[in-house]
Amino acid sequence: MSTVTWITARGLFGRRRFLLLLPLPLLLVGLAVLARGLAVAPADWGPPVLVGLGLAVVLPVVALIVGTGVLGAEIDDGTVVHVLTTPLPRWQIVLPKLAVAAGVTAVTVAVPLFAAGLLADSARLGLSLAVAASAGALAYSALFVAASLLTRRPVLLGLVYVLIWEGLLSNVIGGTRVLSIQHYVIALADRLAPTDLLGTTVTAPVAAVMTTLIIVGATLLAIDRLRSFSVAGETS
Amino acid sequence: MSEPTGVIHDIGYQRYTGPRLGRRHVFGAMYIHGVRTAFGLGRSAKAKIFPWLVVGIVLMVAAAVTAIRSQIGEVVMTYAQFADAMSWLVIFFVAVAAPELVSRDLRSGVLPLYFSRPVPQADYPLAKLLALITALFLLLGAPQLLMFLGGAFTADGMGAVWDELLDLLPGLLYAGLWAVVFASVGLLVASMTGKRAFAAGGIVAVFLMTTPIVGILSVLPSQAANQLSGIASPPTLVQGVGIWAMRDLLITDLAEGAGPDLGPYGPVYALAAVALVAGCVALLLARYKKVAAR
């Protein structure tokens, strides 16, 4: 475990505001338990909880807060200089931070999704959701870490992607789903445990290839941007 | 040893002798500044990107709706439905504007400067709230006005224009309701943190994570829970109030059971909306009492 990993993890967990991440997963499990306890048919509560809340809100929002927090927060308050002035290759800075972000996101999202999937259908659905969400967590984290190096307002850029691209456009124009991590996750989970609770127009092979491409591409982009990173004060 | 020759130079300090404008003007200045901040006016081009992206999209949608209506004659959405259709963009706009309005001041520690003026403590948050409400109302109202102009110029006769106007006014009222509810919730969340990034994430989380609760409540086996489900989330709460007050304008689908069924609980929705806004404003004022005391 490198020092950068350690610093990043402490930066995330050391503040009280990390507790703000807890309500989202708790809500996910709570709603699943409530619906199960009142004997609502899984076909009715599965899609809104698993997809509507779990994959469309909890996963991207947690990934956004964590992913922009690991590097963006340091850039924001200027302490990134301390890491950049060490004789570390840039990839040794980006990769540990990405690993922490993806790991934290995956744990925060996959555990409640597993519980919800278990309550909805079977342990297999739960496991497949957890696996797919972890892959999605890695992709989202890579994207948002890269975004925090491309712009000074990474959260807003991330929100444009999550809200407008994935939320608004992929419901209206089906074609944009080919470029939507949310639909990759749904496709992967559906492939691992076929049920009628999950449905998308993206095929599993396309989803797997595109997820890998996004992870590799965004990571390389982040490393490249950090290589020529200029530290500037806050503007506007 | 010569005599000390000290001189006091007159460097031109003067007392202010002009008129003191007082509280109303301070409030007005904060309000105008707030509205301009929400749209990034008077700031660098970078601060304008996100607000004007949203403005551009809603105006484009309005233009498309108007064009379709005048060319094909099909009403894609009424004025009141426009706000509902744009809900995601409204949430995004709140997430952009609310942190700009309050989080920056918290972060840079300029609040003591505001409160060292003869400004009553409540004026600062209220001016910011009013500014955000105005910005949201403009965001939702301007496209409706565009649609109205398009409709009015293709209508035949003054009577048709008058009918358009009667359709537009409830739509604008409904947009005002959206603006009040979303601004008070969003500003409260944003005032909790000085980090704009966290404030934006928090606002989106609050608005989005409440929506699936509605989905669950509406499939529970209890009819009362189904009919009250909309209260759990701001967008559906506003929609519920709208449906209670002006059902015909919001639901144009004539099929039986179209749109959410409120049952006898319409007034409950209205009360819940009032309570939500009042609660948020009270918490906001309490928050600034605490911040100002520091």
How many angstroms separate the first and last alpha carbons of chain A? Answer: 38
**Closest residue to B88, CB basis, from A76, A152, A167:** A167
Whether B52 and chain A come into contact, CB under 8 Å, resolves to: no
pLDDT in tens, B262-293: 777 888 888 999 999 999 999 999 998 887 76
**Considering only CB atoms, which chain B residues are within 8 Å of A53?**
209, 211-212, 215
Whether B215 and chain A come into contact, CB under 8 Å, resolves to: yes
pLDDT in tens, B18-28: 888 888 898 99
Q: Quote the pLDDT of residue A182.
A: 87
Count contacts between A and B (CB, < 8 Å).
105
Asked if the Cβ–Cβ distance from A156 to B91 is below 8 Å, we say no
Q: Which residue has the tokens 């409204």?
A: B90
Q: Where are the domains of chain B?
A: 23-293
Scanning A121-203, the segments in alpha helix (DSSP H) are 123-150, 154-159, 170-172, 181-192
pLDDT in tens, B190-205: 998 888 888 888 898 8
Q: Quote the pLDDT of residue A79.
A: 81
Q: Quote the pLDDT of residue A236.
A: 44
**Considering only CB atoms, which chain B residues are within 8 Å of A154?**
197
Nearest C-alpha in B relative to A46 = B216
Number of Cβ atoms within 10 Å of the Cβ of B239: 25
Name the least confident of B58-62, B206-210, B250-254. B250-254
pLDDT in tens, A97-149: 999 999 999 999 999 999 988 888 788 888 999 999 999 999 999 999 999 98
Query: Model pTM?
Result: 0.86
Whether B92 and chain A come into contact, CB under 8 Å, resolves to: yes
Give whole-number Cα distances, A14 to A6, A7, A9, in Å.
11, 10, 8
CA distance B258 to B95: 31
CA distance A103 to A1: 14
| C-alpha distance from A21 to closest chain B C-alpha (Å) | 10
Whether B95 and chain A come into contact, CB under 8 Å, resolves to: yes
CA distance B289 to B29: 21
| C-alpha distance from B202 to closest chain A C-alpha (Å) | 8
Burial of B49 (0-12, 13-18, 19+ CB in 10 A): middle
Q: Quote the pLDDT of residue A133.
A: 92
Top-confidence residue, B237 or A168: B237
Q: Quote the pLDDT of residue B192.
A: 87
Structural contact between residues B58 and B143, judged by C-beta atoms closer than 8 angstroms: yes
| Low pLDDT (below 50) residues in chain A | 236
| C-alpha distance from B92 to closest chain A C-alpha (Å) | 7
3-state secondary structure A16-48: HHHHHHCHHHHHHHHHHHHHHHCCCCHHHHHHH
Nearest C-alpha in A relative to B48 = A236
Q: Quote the pLDDT of residue A78.
A: 78
Asked if the Cβ–Cβ distance from A48 to B95 is below 8 Å, we say no
CA distance A118 to A35: 13
Asked if the Cβ–Cβ distance from B216 to A236 is below 8 Å, we say no
pLDDT in tens, B81-105: 888 888 888 999 999 999 999 988 8
Give the H/E segment covering residue B170: helix B158-190
ipTM of model: 0.81
Q: Quote the pLDDT of residue B107.
A: 85
Confidence of residue B251 (pLDDT cuts 50, 70, 90): low
Nearest C-alpha in B relative to A63 = B201
Confidence of residue B79 (pLDDT cuts 50, 70, 90): confident
How many angstroms separate the first and last alpha carbons of chain B? Answer: 53
Q: Is the pLDDT of residue B131 over 50?
A: yes
Tell me the average pLDDT of chain B.
85
Nearest C-alpha in B relative to A153 = B197
CA distance B123 to B24: 10
**Considering only CB atoms, which chain B residues are within 8 Å of A39?**
221
Give the best residue of B76, B87, B106, B209 to mutate against chain A (max A CB count within 10 A).
B209
Q: Is the pLDDT of residue B258 over 70?
A: no
DSSP readout, A49-110? IIIIIIIIIIHHHHHHHHHHHHHHHHHHHTTHHHHHTSS--THHHHHHHHHHHHHHHHHHHH
Q: Is the pLDDT of residue B255 over 70?
A: no
Confidence of residue B294 (pLDDT cuts 50, 70, 90): low
Q: What is the mean pLDDT of residues B54-60?
A: 92
Residue B195 identity (one-letter amino acid):
K
Q: What is the mean pLDDT of residues B219-234?
A: 80
